[in-house]
Amino acid sequence: MADKFLIKKRVQLSGDVAISGYKNSAGAVLAAVLLSKEPSIIDNLPLVSDILDQIEILKQMGAEVKWLSERKIKINEFGNEYDINQEIKENILLSLPLNFLCKIDCKGLCQNCGQNLNLRNCNCIKTNLGFTFAELKKIKYK
């Protein structure tokens, strides 16, 4: 795909462009389902092999996945403790963003419970866990 498009004529452009979900973000959202104790509904999934493979991995881990529409799925709760090795632990830690703010005036997410602080405050005691969410502490390492 081209990095840029050069339009040589002065013609007004119009129309619609369907924006698909971003593959890397969708992968992170699917991984975050592991931290949830409730069913998750994920919409606007890009239908690419990486995402479809990740959904299959979740099924193999015991997740019940139901397609609600062409690019929307529901994943039911399937437990919250997992045995993972050091390589996966490092991958999780390295994939966490350095800054959890989406814009300059964003209040971010609570590091304990994951509450979007732009929508409402939480009652967590403010501490620096060294992880994104407290649920990550439940991960078991071999």
pLDDT digits 0-9 by tens, 82-134: 566 666 777 777 776 665 567 778 887 777 777 888 888 888 876 555 545 55
Mean pLDDT of the region 41-63: 88
- CATH topology assigned to domain 21-80: Ribosomal Protein S8; Chain: A, domain 1 (3.30.1370)
Residue 89, SS3? helix
Which has the closest alpha carbon to 70: 96, 90, 52? Answer: 52
pLDDT digits 0-9 by tens, 20-36: 666 778 888 888 887 77
pLDDT score at 113: 78
- Reported pTM: 0.46
Domain boundaries, the chain: 21-80, 83-142
Q: Is 42's pLDDT higher than 70? A: yes
β-pairing, 72-75 vs 40-42, is antiparallel
**pLDDT category, 72, cuts 50, 70, 90?**
very high
